[in-house]
Chains A and B, each alone.
Chain A
Amino acid sequence: MKTIIDFFRQNVENFPDKIALIFEDRKLSYKELGGLVDSFSDSLTELEKKSVVSLFLDNSIDFVISYLGILNAGMIVHLIPTNLTIQKIQQQLEISNSNLLITSNHLMNKIKDIKYECRKKSFSELNIKKNDFLKSNNFYNEIAYLIFTSGTTGIPKGVSITQCNTIFTTKNIINVLKYDESDVNILPLPLTHSFGLGCLHTSLFLGSTLIILKNATNTCNILEQVIKHNATTLAAVPLTLNKILNEHKNYSDYFHKLRLIITNSTSVPVKTVKEYRKILKNGNLATYYGLTEASRSTFMIFDKSGKETSVGKPSNGIQIKIKNESSNESETGEILIKGENVVKNYWKNPDADKKILDNWLQTGDLGHKDSEGYLYLDGRIDDIINIAGEKVVPEDIETIVRVLIDVDDVVVVGMKNDMYGEIIKMFVKKSTDGKITKSEILAYCLKHLESHKVPREIEFLDDFPRNEFGKIERFKLK
């Protein structure tokens, strides 16, 4: 069985001179990248197979060389997002039992005070030379990489993704989104996250060209790169897509050659979907639903109207069921996922392993299906608010209030209360120049919501706490 390295190796042979990677002013062909990857693997010879090597690098060509080099050497890559705090980095290094940490000169300073005992090397200290890419190993059933998820409690859990999980997911991405070797892909997403990494795998698997960008917020640069490289696909979080709409008047001029924009989110705002459907005259906007533990479980291509709030249908070989008391999948319940994209277990965490029962991953996400089998996300089990025994899904309230003209966005959380167990607190971000008052929102809620769903408190915020991908962190509002 082939691994991502095997497919990459094949492309080194098939397209040696084709550009594999572009980052800023640096370009590498498949042959050049292959040679550097082998040289990197050689630099790890003092470590045993299956050792954990932590990667603490920003998006760069060095990142890709290191990532592939570690896999090629039969070791496990531990991916650390560069925006983590020192405490969280230390926590992850301890849990992963890392043997070596690779970073850049620039980031070395950030980790100098970490107390965890392992060797720390800057990429530039390693003796990486250009040579031929010859090694062949078979690690199909082994763990390829570790990504830690913070969950709602903030305690990190290591997710162990195997080589076969990776290949299964990559094939699904290619089959559904019709990627091919002629694609030129723009990636302004961190490679330490499943979304960005999946795009890297797809490009290397097919032998296409990947343009890696440093960040997702510099929309000027993203649009310039799309034009400069005649890009055919763009991967971006909804926050980036909305920023493009808000900050660039002639955005549609940049997208005429794009055949695909892939995004991901619990739900892409309907107005964003509609706007991009208009802009992409020769292409589609698509999204997917997945967790690090079960990457790309569904796909949704927004090629016609009517299903804008759905995250699509399960990919090939993946089963999704809704667990609820009524056994009716059209009613909200927990989403369970089974398939080769689902991890077998977490990293040294038997408690977390209980979430995987008979190969079914209990996601903790709430959702329902429509009569055609399309999946819709309704929230998180952890986010359910229990007011004197009445269960409230925050999204039910948020959806109603979000339509108010002066309201830009709204988040609802449960707050502990002695009398009711929990009460509802609503955080509202007003639209620019929005003048709505708390009393007006409350009056609107009384009119449009069941009595137990009316918030007890309302607070106006300039913005919500978000993680590095723009996702709102509800637990920080509690």
Chain B
Amino acid sequence: MYYQKTEKSLNTIEIEIKKIFFQVFPDLEESEFDWKKKQNDYENWDSFSQLNLITMIEEKFNILISDNDAVGFQSAENFRNFVERNR
């Protein structure tokens, strides 16, 4: 059974990434957020939102994301893993 983390158990990276997702998708409800939810399952995750997610994450974590990496991000989990590896 998939273990859903509670807000308390999220680490700093996860909190910030989640915050960024709610900023980029202001209509997203708390109950709709899922780390594994794919790009196609979001109503507004288009190429511009992708760009905005990358920009916000680069700025927040002071990292650079290459164009090659950028095309690979399809879920919040992808972003989390990338930040954890590269921070």
- A residues lining the B interface (CB < 8 Å): 387-388, 390, 418-420, 423, 438-439, 442-443, 446-447, 451-452, 454-458
Contact residues, B48-78 vs A (CB, 8 A): 48-49, 51-52, 55-56, 59-60, 67, 70
Q: Do B26 and A442 touch (CB < 8 A)?
A: no
What's the dominant secondary structure at chain B's contact region? Answer: helix
Contact check, B26 vs A456: say whether CB atoms are below 8 A apart: no
Distance in angstroms between the alpha carbons of A439 and B52 in the assembled complex: 12
* B51–A420 CB distance below 8 A: yes
- Asked whether, in the complex, the Cβ of B67 is within 8 Å of the Cβ of A439, the reply is no
Cross-chain contact A455 with B67 (CB below 8 angstroms):
no
A442 contacts which of B47, B59, B67, B70 (Cβ < 8 Å)? B59
How would you classify the secondary structure of chain A's contact residues: helix, strand, loop or mixed? Answer: mixed
Expressed in whole angstroms, the minimum distance between the Cβ of A52 and any Cβ of chain B is 51
Q: Which B residues are within 8 Å of any A CB, using their own CB?
A: 23-24, 26, 44, 46-49, 51-52, 55-56, 59-60, 67, 70
Partner of B26, one of A388, A438, A447, A452: A447
22 sample A-B contacts, Cβ–Cβ < 8 Å, listed by A number: A388-B47, A388-B48, A390-B48, A418-B67, A419-B70, A420-B51, A438-B59, A439-B60, A442-B55, A443-B56, A446-B23, A446-B26, A446-B52, A446-B56, A447-B23, A447-B26, A452-B48, A454-B48, A454-B51, A455-B55, A456-B51, A458-B59
State in angstroms the CA–CA spacing of A458 and B67 once bound together: 18
Is A451 a contact partner of B52 (Cβ separation < 8 A)? yes
Give the residue name and chain of the A residue nearest to B52 (CB).
A454
Chain B residues with Cβ below 8 Å from A387 are 48
Taking CB as reference atom, which chain B residue is nearest A440?
B59
Residues on A with C-beta less than 8 A from B67 are 418-419
**Complex: chain B residue closest to A445, CB-CB:** B52
Are A451 and B48 in touch, CB under 8 angstroms? yes
A455 surroundings in chain B (CB, below 8 A): 55
Q: Which of A423, A438, A451, A457 contacts B49 (CB 8 A)?
A: A451
CA A442 – CA B26 in complex, angstroms?
14
Nearest chain A residue, comparing its CB with the CB of B46: A451
Give the docked Cα–Cα distance between A420 and B47 (Å): 9
**Complex CA distance for A50 and B7, rounded to whole angstroms:** 81
Closest to A455 in B: B55
Tell me how far the C-beta of B67 lies from the nearest C-beta in chain A, rounded to whole angstroms: 6
- Please indicate the chain B residues that have their CB under 8 angstroms from the CB of A446 in the complex: 23-24, 26, 52, 56
Question: Which residue of the partner chain A has the closest CB to B67?
Answer: A419
Q: Which residues of A contact B44 (CB under 8 A)?
A: 451
Residue numbers in A under 8 Å from B56 (CB-CB):
439, 442-443, 446
What is the minimal beta-carbon distance from B19 to any residue of chain A, in angstroms? 9
- A31–B52 CA distance with the chains assembled, in angstroms: 68
Contact present for A443 and B23 (CB under 8 Å):
yes
